[in-house]
Protein backbone atom coordinates (compact mmCIF):
# COMPACT_ATOMS: atom_id res chain seq x y z
CA UNK A 1 0.00 0.00 0.00
CA UNK A 2 2.83 2.35 0.91
CA UNK A 3 4.51 1.62 -2.44
CA UNK A 4 1.31 2.47 -4.29
CA UNK A 5 0.99 5.78 -2.42
CA UNK A 6 4.64 6.55 -2.98
CA UNK A 7 4.33 5.78 -6.68
CA UNK A 8 1.20 7.93 -6.88
CA UNK A 9 3.01 10.79 -5.17
CA UNK A 10 5.93 10.54 -7.55
CA UNK A 11 3.59 10.50 -10.55
CA UNK A 12 1.80 13.58 -9.20
CA UNK A 13 5.09 15.42 -8.75
CA UNK A 14 6.17 14.39 -12.26
CA UNK A 15 2.91 15.73 -13.72
CA UNK A 16 3.30 18.94 -11.71
CA UNK A 17 6.87 19.37 -12.89
CA UNK A 18 5.77 18.68 -16.45
CA UNK A 19 3.10 21.36 -16.25
CA UNK A 20 5.49 23.82 -14.61
CA UNK A 21 8.14 23.08 -17.21
CA UNK A 22 5.65 23.59 -20.01
CA UNK A 23 4.53 26.89 -18.53
CA UNK A 24 8.17 27.98 -18.12
CA UNK A 25 8.90 27.14 -21.76
CA UNK A 26 5.79 29.03 -22.93
CA UNK A 27 6.68 32.01 -20.75
CA UNK A 28 10.26 31.96 -22.01
CA UNK A 29 8.97 31.93 -25.59
CA UNK A 30 6.77 34.93 -24.77
CA UNK A 31 9.72 36.82 -23.28
CA UNK A 32 11.87 36.08 -26.34
CA UNK A 33 9.07 37.30 -28.61
CA UNK A 34 8.67 40.52 -26.60
CA UNK A 35 12.43 41.14 -26.70
CA UNK A 36 12.44 40.52 -30.44
CA UNK A 37 9.60 42.99 -30.93
CA UNK A 38 11.37 45.59 -28.77
CA UNK A 39 14.61 45.14 -30.73
CA UNK A 40 12.82 45.54 -34.08
CA UNK A 41 10.82 48.52 -32.84
CA UNK A 42 13.89 50.32 -31.51
CA UNK A 43 15.65 49.80 -34.84
CA UNK A 44 12.65 51.27 -36.68
CA UNK A 45 12.43 54.11 -34.17
CA UNK A 46 16.08 54.98 -34.73
CA UNK A 47 15.47 55.25 -38.48
CA UNK A 48 12.48 57.58 -38.02
CA UNK A 49 14.52 59.68 -35.60
CA UNK A 50 17.24 60.05 -38.23
CA UNK A 51 14.60 61.21 -40.71
CA UNK A 52 13.16 63.63 -38.15
CA UNK A 53 16.63 65.05 -37.49
CA UNK A 54 16.94 65.91 -41.19
CA UNK A 55 13.52 67.60 -41.13
CA UNK A 56 14.58 69.69 -38.14
CA UNK A 57 17.94 70.55 -39.69
CA UNK A 58 16.24 71.74 -42.90
CA UNK A 59 13.95 74.08 -40.98
CA UNK A 60 16.85 75.49 -38.93
CA UNK A 61 18.97 76.03 -42.06
CA UNK A 62 16.11 77.75 -43.91
CA UNK A 63 15.24 80.00 -40.96
CA UNK A 64 17.82 82.73 -41.67
CA UNK A 65 16.74 82.99 -45.32
CA UNK A 66 13.10 83.21 -44.29
CA UNK A 67 13.76 86.01 -41.79
CA UNK A 68 15.42 88.04 -44.56
CA UNK A 69 12.13 87.93 -46.49
CA UNK A 70 10.23 89.19 -43.46
CA UNK A 71 12.63 92.10 -43.01
CA UNK A 72 12.33 92.90 -46.71
CA UNK A 73 8.52 93.05 -46.87
CA UNK A 74 8.32 94.90 -43.53
CA UNK A 75 10.61 97.66 -44.85
CA UNK A 76 8.68 100.50 -46.51
CA UNK A 77 11.46 101.46 -48.91
CA UNK A 78 11.90 97.86 -50.05
CA UNK A 79 8.20 97.59 -50.77
CA UNK A 80 8.10 100.91 -52.60
CA UNK A 81 11.10 100.45 -54.85
CA UNK A 82 11.76 96.72 -55.23
CA UNK A 83 11.01 94.67 -58.32
CA UNK A 84 7.77 92.72 -58.57
CA UNK A 85 9.75 89.48 -58.51
CA UNK A 86 11.46 90.26 -55.18
CA UNK A 87 8.14 91.19 -53.60
CA UNK A 88 6.53 88.05 -54.98
CA UNK A 89 9.22 85.86 -53.38
CA UNK A 90 9.03 87.76 -50.07
CA UNK A 91 5.23 87.42 -49.99
CA UNK A 92 5.36 83.67 -50.63
CA UNK A 93 7.90 83.13 -47.84
CA UNK A 94 6.12 85.22 -45.22
CA UNK A 95 2.50 84.12 -45.69
CA UNK A 96 2.84 80.33 -45.52
CA UNK A 97 2.92 78.09 -42.44
CA UNK A 98 6.03 76.36 -41.13
CA UNK A 99 5.02 72.81 -41.98
CA UNK A 100 7.37 71.06 -39.51
CA UNK A 101 6.01 67.51 -39.45
CA UNK A 102 7.71 64.79 -37.40
CA UNK A 103 6.95 61.07 -37.43
CA UNK A 104 5.09 59.53 -34.45
CA UNK A 105 4.15 56.25 -36.17
CA UNK A 106 6.64 53.88 -34.54
CA UNK A 107 6.24 55.46 -31.10
CA UNK A 108 2.45 55.17 -31.34
CA UNK A 109 2.87 51.48 -32.17
CA UNK A 110 5.28 50.96 -29.25
CA UNK A 111 2.84 52.64 -26.89
CA UNK A 112 -0.33 50.95 -28.12
CA UNK A 113 1.30 47.49 -27.84
CA UNK A 114 2.68 48.34 -24.40
CA UNK A 115 6.24 47.57 -25.55
CA UNK A 116 7.56 50.96 -24.47
CA UNK A 117 6.81 50.09 -20.84
CA UNK A 118 8.64 46.75 -21.12
CA UNK A 119 11.98 48.42 -21.88
CA UNK A 120 14.09 47.90 -18.75
CA UNK A 121 16.60 50.65 -19.50
CA UNK A 122 15.14 53.61 -17.58
CA UNK A 123 17.15 56.26 -19.41
CA UNK A 124 16.12 54.92 -22.79
CA UNK A 125 12.47 54.43 -21.89
CA UNK A 126 12.14 57.85 -20.24
CA UNK A 127 14.03 59.52 -23.08
CA UNK A 128 11.58 58.12 -25.63
CA UNK A 129 8.54 59.09 -23.57
CA UNK A 130 9.82 62.61 -22.91
CA UNK A 131 10.61 63.26 -26.56
CA UNK A 132 7.33 62.02 -28.02
CA UNK A 133 4.87 62.86 -25.23
CA UNK A 134 6.25 66.31 -24.41
CA UNK A 135 8.66 67.78 -26.97
CA UNK A 136 6.93 66.55 -30.14
CA UNK A 137 3.50 67.41 -28.72
CA UNK A 138 4.57 70.98 -27.92
CA UNK A 139 6.05 71.41 -31.40
CA UNK A 140 2.78 70.25 -32.96
CA UNK A 141 0.83 72.73 -30.83
CA UNK A 142 2.99 75.61 -32.09
CA UNK A 143 2.78 74.51 -35.75
CA UNK A 144 -1.00 74.07 -35.47
CA UNK A 145 -1.26 77.55 -33.97
CA UNK A 146 0.86 78.90 -36.82
CA UNK A 147 -1.39 77.26 -39.40
CA UNK A 148 -4.45 78.80 -37.74
CA UNK A 149 -2.79 82.24 -37.81
CA UNK A 150 -1.98 81.85 -41.51
CA UNK A 151 -5.60 80.92 -42.24
CA UNK A 152 -6.76 84.09 -40.47
CA UNK A 153 -4.19 86.09 -42.43
CA UNK A 154 -5.55 84.64 -45.68
CA UNK A 155 -8.93 86.19 -44.92
CA UNK A 156 -7.32 89.63 -44.46
CA UNK A 157 -5.44 89.26 -47.76
CA UNK A 158 -8.52 88.16 -49.68
CA UNK A 159 -10.58 91.03 -48.25
CA UNK A 160 -8.04 93.81 -48.77
CA UNK A 161 -5.73 92.93 -51.67
CA UNK A 162 -6.01 92.21 -55.36
CA UNK A 163 -4.75 88.72 -56.11
CA UNK A 164 -2.64 87.77 -59.11
CA UNK A 165 -4.36 85.75 -61.81
CA UNK A 166 -1.13 84.36 -63.26
CA UNK A 167 1.03 82.99 -60.42
CA UNK A 168 0.87 79.31 -59.46
CA UNK A 169 1.04 80.02 -55.75
CA UNK A 170 -1.05 82.62 -53.95
CA UNK A 171 0.35 86.07 -54.61
CA UNK A 172 -0.60 89.69 -55.14
CA UNK A 173 -1.08 91.66 -58.35
CA UNK A 174 1.87 94.06 -58.22
CA UNK A 175 0.83 95.78 -61.42
CA UNK A 176 -2.12 97.29 -59.57
CA UNK A 177 -1.31 100.72 -58.13
CA UNK A 178 -2.84 99.99 -54.70
CA UNK A 179 -0.90 96.82 -53.92
CA UNK A 180 2.34 98.26 -52.58
CA UNK A 181 0.47 100.96 -50.67
CA UNK A 182 -1.76 98.33 -49.05
CA UNK A 183 1.23 96.22 -48.00
CA UNK A 184 2.65 99.22 -46.13
CA UNK A 185 -0.54 100.73 -44.74
CA UNK A 186 -2.76 97.74 -43.93
CA UNK A 187 -2.13 97.37 -40.20
CA UNK A 188 -3.80 93.97 -39.92
CA UNK A 189 -1.54 92.59 -42.63
CA UNK A 190 1.53 94.05 -40.94
CA UNK A 191 0.42 92.64 -37.57
CA UNK A 192 0.14 89.16 -39.05
CA UNK A 193 3.58 89.53 -40.63
CA UNK A 194 5.03 90.41 -37.23
CA UNK A 195 3.21 87.49 -35.58
CA UNK A 196 4.42 85.02 -38.23
CA UNK A 197 7.98 86.24 -37.88
CA UNK A 198 7.85 85.75 -34.11
CA UNK A 199 6.34 82.27 -34.48
CA UNK A 200 9.12 81.27 -36.87
CA UNK A 201 11.67 82.48 -34.29
CA UNK A 202 10.01 80.39 -31.58
CA UNK A 203 9.92 77.36 -33.88
CA UNK A 204 13.57 77.74 -34.79
CA UNK A 205 14.53 77.84 -31.10
CA UNK A 206 12.30 74.84 -30.36
CA UNK A 207 13.62 72.85 -33.34
CA UNK A 208 17.20 73.36 -32.19
CA UNK A 209 16.36 72.01 -28.74
CA UNK A 210 14.38 69.07 -30.09
CA UNK A 211 17.19 68.25 -32.52
CA UNK A 212 19.55 67.88 -29.55
CA UNK A 213 17.01 65.56 -27.87
CA UNK A 214 16.69 63.48 -31.04
CA UNK A 215 20.46 63.13 -31.46
CA UNK A 216 20.84 62.13 -27.79
CA UNK A 217 18.10 59.53 -28.12
CA UNK A 218 19.70 58.04 -31.25
CA UNK A 219 22.95 57.75 -29.29
CA UNK A 220 21.10 56.05 -26.43
CA UNK A 221 19.53 53.50 -28.76
CA UNK A 222 22.85 52.76 -30.49
CA UNK A 223 24.96 52.84 -27.34
CA UNK A 224 22.93 50.56 -25.13
CA UNK A 225 23.75 46.88 -25.16
CA UNK A 226 20.83 44.82 -26.44
CA UNK A 227 20.73 42.90 -23.17
CA UNK A 228 19.90 46.03 -21.19
CA UNK A 229 16.66 46.41 -23.09
CA UNK A 230 15.43 42.89 -22.48
CA UNK A 231 12.57 41.93 -20.24
CA UNK A 232 12.39 38.90 -18.05
- The 3-class secondary structure across 48-78, one letter per residue, is HHHHHHHHHHHHHHHHHHHHHHHHHHCCHHH
Average of per-residue pLDDT across 140-162: 95
For residue 72, the Cα-to-chain-centroid distance in whole angstroms is 30
The confidence score (pLDDT) of residue 30 equals: 72
Would the pLDDT of 181 be above 50? yes
- Residue pair 87/174 in contact (Cβ under 8 Å)? The answer is yes
**Residue 129 and residue 88 in contact, taking contact as beta carbons nearer than 8 Å:** no
Please tell me the predicted confidence (pLDDT) of residue 231. Answer: 52
More confident residue, 228 or 60: 60
Q: What is the mean pLDDT of the chain?
A: 86
Q: Is the pLDDT of residue 20 over 60?
A: no
Q: What was the pLDDT predicted at 36?
A: 86
> How confident is the model at residue 97, as a pLDDT?
87
Amino acid sequence: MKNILARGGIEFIAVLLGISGSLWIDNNKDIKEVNYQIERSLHALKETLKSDSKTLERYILNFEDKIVHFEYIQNNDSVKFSSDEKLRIAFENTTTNAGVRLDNTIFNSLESLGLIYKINNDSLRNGILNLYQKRYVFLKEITDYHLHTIQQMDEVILDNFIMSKTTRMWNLDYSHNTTRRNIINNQQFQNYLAANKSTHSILEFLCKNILNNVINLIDLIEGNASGSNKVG
